Amino acid sequence: MQFVSGAFFPDQHDVHMSERLDAMFDEEPPAPKLSKAEQKIQNALLNIENERAENIRLWAKRLKDLFNGKMSIEINVPKEMYPMTSFDIEVESIEYEGVLQFLANGLLEASFLHWCQIYLHNAVFYKIAPEHPKVAYFNIHKITGKECEQNFASVKEHLLSVYKLKKGTKYFLAPFFYRAHWVLFIVSPKERSVWILDTISVKANKDKDDYPLSRAIESSFGSGLTWTMVQCKRQDGSWECGFMVIWFMVQFVLKKRFRFPNNIWTDTTSVTQEEIDMLVENIMTRFFKSKRVGWLNTP
């Protein structure tokens, strides 16, 4: 910097420094970093906007209004659905991102499948669907592959406590998550039978011993059970399994249980995108209808 007769004239260094300061103050502040859950939500919304049909995008808009900026909403778990102890929670947190994955062709998370169980339970409890033959549910969170491997005794305790609570029930549905894959078990201690619906079982040449839940079921209800790997719909991708477990549960509760196993699944074709979209439309209609009748009320 040069001073001449009481005045100063900036040299080249000062000019460059001033330009850098001006540029620094002109910059926009960095956007706040998204959490992992927020990033998943953003990715799902982009996928829905760019890849999914108009009716699916409309469901996404309705979900945005329902969650209203929340990451999850809590709903009551029916008290008669499971035995309750002081350690059990009586609410289920339905994750916004989890429901969006149902619209975005994503791998489904447990809370949304649990909502489907609660919906089907309520449909029978409030006599929208016939009561007999009776059907009950094992808690999806208490029977995961991780729980079976790390807390085997607690899984067995849950199976037996639900069975005692629902004594006289013919069928118990158990959506089971293991190694990033969903499977449906239909358990009938009364008929000494278990049916497993796995959309990759044929391709992967799987049997009952491939699932840690099988050991917990045998330990709880005895080793003399008849096991059937059901010839059911197949998946070609890596994400359809949760959708198909919902499909199987809805079909079973609303239709197949009345003549089961005479009308057991036999279709082994690959599920199509059109069939997935029909399922999404059906389930989202039920989801928002359940809100109107109070089944989505928060505690």
Domain with residue 178: its CATH number is 3.40.395.10
pLDDT tens, 22-69? 555 555 666 668 788 899 999 999 999 999 999 999 999 999 999 999
Classify the phi-psi angles of 260: left when phi > 0, otherwise alpha if psi is within -120 to 50, otherwise beta.
Answer: beta
Q: Is the dihedral of CA 72, 76, 78, 84 positive or negative?
A: positive
Q: How far apart are CA 49 and CA 76, in angstroms?
A: 31
Q: Please report which confidence band the pLDDT of residue 5 belongs to, taking 50, 70 and 90 as the band edges.
A: very low
Residue 130 within a domain: yes
Residue 96 within a domain: yes
Residue 245 within a domain: yes
Q: What angle do CA 182, 195, 116 make, to 5 degrees?
A: 45
Domain that holds residue 67: 36-292
Residue 22 within a domain: no
pLDDT tens, 224-244? 999 999 999 999 999 999 999
Number of domains in the chain: 1
Residue 7 within a domain: no
pLDDT tens, 243-290? 999 999 999 999 999 999 999 999 999 999 999 999 999 999 999 988
- If you average pLDDT over residues 59-88, what whole number do you get? 89
Question: Does 86 score more than 70 pLDDT?
Answer: no
Question: For residues 144 and 177, is the Cβ–Cβ distance under 8 A?
Answer: yes
Residue 153 within a domain: yes
Residue 210 within a domain: yes
pLDDT tens, 158-194? 999 999 999 999 999 999 999 999 999 999 999 999 9
- Is 265 or 15 the better-scoring residue by pLDDT? 265
pLDDT of residue 105: 96
Residue 104 within a domain: yes
Average pLDDT score, the chain: 89
